Chain A
Amino acid sequence: MRFGIAVFPGTWSDGDCARAVEVLGHQAVRLWHRDRDLQGSDCVILPGGFAYGDHLRTGAVARFAPLMESVQEFAAAGGLVLGICNGFQILCEAHLLPGALTRNASLEFRCETSWLRAETVETPFTRRCERGGVLAVPVSHGEGRFVADPSTLDRLEAEHRVAFRYVAPDGSPVGDGSPNGSMRDIAGIVSEGRNVLGMMPHPERAAEPILGSADGMRIFGSVVDAVASRTAFAMER
């Protein structure tokens, strides 16, 4: 299958995402921000970085890129979109996901391992996870504090759309150990149609044992499985 990896001026995690995809034996193509062609991608990744310098607000300008119009249409048609870090910020600004990412409560840029509890396996991005299982995945951001109004948060919880929550290494509540102070310790959420995932931690940096963790591969692997089963389903019909 083919992963399309968006490249904006200021994106830097596209190489690591491509590497993760290639380790799995799949194809990665770069999608330039000024183009509209998704090149037949089965899944579009919006990688980490500082698109357009993150001026004004993170993701605020990137959401208006020509490529994002195609991504909006792709997502509306049920296409799989994975936003990582800056990609999550762009998805929120583009209203493909609810809420917003704000300055870390500590006001510090945090670059460290975080522990994520998979809260649902009922998404195309988490089907290779175990519900309640803990993944070690690095964070690297200054603005990752997820905020939304209480009714939005309640709805996300009720619809099982919180994909990942920051926890302590043993899976217990993270308490003051949260890297950013996100509301309800939210690290990643999916869209109403469950085909768009935004997460602040970087699964592509936990893609091989030599990096200290290969837990991030569960997310890329889940997408591969989801696309394979979709294709099989389409062929049966």
Chain B
Amino acid sequence: MLQQQLERSSNNSGGNKGGGAQSRPSFSLRGLGLRLLGLAVIDAVASLFVITLFGDGLPIVAVAIILITIVVNWVFLSEQLYALRWLTPGVLLLILMVVYPLIYTIYSSFTNYGDSHRLTKDQVIAQLKTQTYQGANGATYSWTAYRSPDNKFKIILQNPTTNKSFIGDESGLKPYDAPATLPATLDGGFQKLTPFAAASQEKQLAALNLKNDQVAIQLISSSQAQELLSKYSFDPATDKLTDLESKVVYTPVKGTFTSSDGREIQPGFTSLVGGENYGRIFSDSNITAPFFGVFVWTIVFAAMSVLLTFAFGLSMALVLNDPQLPLKPLFRSLIFIPYTIPSFISALVWAGLFSIIGPVGIFSKTIFGDAFSWQADPNWAKVMLLFINTWLGYPYMMLICLGALQSIPTDMFEAAILDGATAIQKFFSLTLPLLLVSVAPLLIASFAFNFNNFGLINLVTKGGPPDSATTTPAGKTDILISYTFNLAFASGKGSDLGLASTISFFIFLIVAGITIFNFRFTKRLEEVF
């Protein structure tokens, strides 16, 4: 049915617009047909979503999808926007998965989103409104209990003044049309209990759910029950929450309802807290010390990784660059192998080798004594990480250095030899500077990559050994990105998504700075202008 409609609509439009073919040499009828068919499918799917979304009470998302669909249709139908047809799918994905998350990160960094502030304000108010208390002016009921053969209970509650009655069981409370005298049995084999028999079943009866949307009733004696009153009322106009029992008024302060004398109601809700998270990094002593420890180690780790891999890789490139070395292709392939193994696998293998039951760990014990463990000592753990990362990265550096070495013009060296330069002079005043010109952008990219090398840290040490001196989940070998991860997802110390977003934003700024610096080498900006 839908298929038929689509075909008809595409045929019609194709025929109608056929006359336009003359105006543009590149017009194709088949192209238009395909385009309309595609748009029809997109529109149909989008309409389905929009209908569901309005049904689910998410009008903002629905409107967003309508707008996007209109833009897509417009782009694919307007001849002026022809070039955008090639870009639209990519741009939409880029906005959804890169731009929006970036904006959302910045937004979250100004909120208190986290374990104690996970719900929205409306959710918290709804939750508080279900709380009740036993007030003096709650209506009183008399109650009668029934029991079924399989030990289930029902209770009939009667209000003698209003003549309103309810029947309740474990599923809730329903209105009940009570006859003058209550029946001895109810449907389902429920037998009326005497007050004495009911008293012995006190526990089961108290566990029944005597509540519905309007009323909540609690048994208070062997014959009486009382209607409970809502504990809180919220006035959206004044944005104030009142505790009806104690008459205390609470106002929302940074995501928590707080009274004038400082009492707070849990749970809190997610709310904007201004620059509080940024302030915490610099002034909260529980966070400042570990944060700067992590920050310094991140830079040291990234810089040392680049330095070691480059030094080692360049040395190997110099060795392999000798035209008279035999078996060069073989050596190059063998040395290159670490780079070809997915790093999550090599990192885990090395973690095993360095562990107390692995060969490297056991060998180290014979040198440093039985208590030695690479993972337990913060400094040795750092050495281990740098060692593993050097193994992972030096083949790549060797490869790019080999390429760069071969593109250095040889006549320069011949001139240097004529001038009587030694091998060391030649290397430091000719080879290295010339090499750095072409590999500098790659070194900087490698720095940025290692700055965020979450995989290595998490797989080898998990950021450990833990820093026992702090309440924030920072280990001695955590780098910023793994610290962010711990804060947000993997902590026994409570998740703090607001602070995690703040640190993400810091990393964004640093990485962006590094990349902008790198543009000076890659000349990408010149390509644009």
Partners in one complex: no
- Give the A-binding residues of B (Cβ under 8 A): none
